[in-house]
Chains A and B, each alone.
Chain A
Amino acid sequence: MGFFVFLPLVLPLTAWPVARLAESRLHPRTATRLLSAVAGVLAVCSTLCLGLLMIVGTAQLPGNPLPDAWSDPEVRAALPYDEVAGRAAIPALLAVLVSCGAAARRQVRARRRAEDALAGLPETSVTVLPDGAPYAYALPGRRRGRVVVSTGMLAALTSRERRALFAHERAHLAGRHHRHLLTVHLAARANPFLRPLRTAVAYTAERWADEEAAAAVGSRRCVARAIGTAALLAPPTTTPLLPAVTGPGPVPRRVAALLRPAPTARTWPSLFTAVGLAAWVAAFGATASALSSANSAVALFLALRAATPV
């Protein structure tokens, strides 16, 4: 083993240009699926890699519960800079586990609270709440989700725009978009290099629902106007949501995309275009990461087994 042991930790960097290209060039459905799958694979590999490094690191600590032989020179030779890397991996893996656990718990809690808030109302697919504040949410449920809209939101839209809004939210529920979002959310917690994928998938999932809504209503402009009107109802934020990112935010980009012709739904692009290249690089990065994780795991497992007294 050599430095490629660390590869799964760094390979998520290949996702940066890919996320950029995929969200602007691929069909949003393809982009959402591709990016969340890539994020999931890269996150699992990166965490596995940390776990292996941690075993080597922990074995060095005095008083650890692991077999003494696991701190043999043969095992440590499997890892470059074993002392630093092994010890650094312990807090890193703990941080990842704590962070992912907290994120998952918050997701469950928020969904349960929203469910609880609506308790006592009939379980219809659309719930209208008397509230002047404009909002609309898709709440995924165990059997079927429901769409929650405020009267403030409905009052601002024409009947056609309302149909666009409902079609958009139903598309979220029917496409189970929350699963993709949860995947990238946890992936971004597991490896901070995957954060651009989270932002990208949050955008492409909305675009996906927009496209479905446009098809359902039969007018791209109508969906664009519904989004524009809804977004302008809320007061603008004083602090930017993502200070690091310059350029237009997701809402203007969604509207602009809807005012352009519909994207083609080709499933896998050719290698000889920029998009194709990006998609292939992403696939390659994910595969290489998976392979090197597997390789590290097997090699380290063999080293540990060889060292374990029978």
Chain B
Amino acid sequence: MNDRGGNETGSSPGRRGQGKLEAHVLSVLKGAAEPVPVAWVQERLGGDLAYTTVITILTRLHGKGAVERERAGRSFVWTAVSDEAGLAALRMRKVLDAEADRQAVLASFVTALSKNDELLLRELLAAEPESDEPPEPTASSEEDR
């Protein structure tokens, strides 16, 4: 990598705080009106983070697709492309993909169907009259809860 902080893993925070820190950096970057350099982000973070740490976090966010960067002279300027929820979604997806037998760890609403299951399920649902409950409009405030 051509990042100056690419090998600064020693200064990175503990695993537990990483998620919070990434979210914090992203929210700061979101407040920028235009692509900004690392120093701008570091300044607004409160100053207790090393320059290289900020670069490490930004690079990690870039790897996750949550921020974009472009060259400006000898360094990069950074832009946020997703919000905290978007970042959480990207990270959650990674967790779910990484867990081979995630069913035992995280209780999923439904498990994967086999071809036979799919046919069987379609038959079951097709045989079911939908009379007693008229379909309701999809728009609702349920999502916001």
Contact = CB atoms under 8 A, between A and B. Distances in A.
A259 B20 contact: no
Contacts of B96: 135, 137
Interface string B83-100: 011111101111110110
B113 A227 contact: no
Contacts of A136: 108-109
Interface residues of A, number: 77
Contacts of A205: 107
Interface string B115-145: 1111011101100101011011110101111
A255 B23 contact: no
A130 B82 CA distance: 10
B110 A227 contact: yes
Contact of B138 (A118, A158, A237): A158
Contacts of B122: 232
Contact of A118 (B19, B26, B98): B19
Contact of B95 (A114, A130, A221): A114
B15 interface: yes
B53 interface: no
B22 A168 contact: no
Contacts of A182: 104
B124 A117 contact: no
B102 interface: yes
B124 A150 contact: no
A240 B122 CA distance: 18
Contacts of A110: 95, 99, 102, 105-106
Interface in A198-227: 198, 202, 205-206, 209, 219, 221-222, 224-225, 227
Q: Is the interface of B mostly helix, strand, loop or mixed?
A: helix
B136 A160 contact: yes
Interface string B23-52: 110110000000000000000000000000
Interface residues on B, range: 35 or more
A148 B117 contact: no
A238 B138 CA distance: 32
A251 B116 CA distance: 11
B93 A131 contact: yes
B133 A160 contact: yes
Interface string A119-155: 1110011111111010111110000000010110111
A181 interface: yes
B114 to A, nearest CB: 5
Contacts of B1: none
Contacts of B117: 231, 236, 248-249, 251-252
B89 to A, nearest CB: 4
A236 B113 contact: yes
A107 interface: yes
B16 interface: yes
Contacts of B94: 117
Given A151-B143, A228-B124, 13 more contacts: A113-B98, A115-B19, A116-B16, A120-B19, A129-B89, A130-B89, A159-B136, A159-B138, A232-B122, A248-B116, A251-B111, A252-B117, A255-B124
22 contacts: A106-B105, A111-B105, A116-B16, A118-B92, A120-B20, A120-B87, A121-B85, A151-B143, A153-B109, A206-B107, A219-B133, A225-B125, A228-B125, A231-B117, A232-B113, A234-B110, A249-B113, A251-B121, A252-B121, A252-B124, A255-B121, A259-B124
Interface of B: 15-16, 18-20, 22-24, 26-27, 82, 84-89, 91-96, 98-99, 102-118, 120-122, 124-125, 128, 130, 132-133, 135-138, 140, 142-145
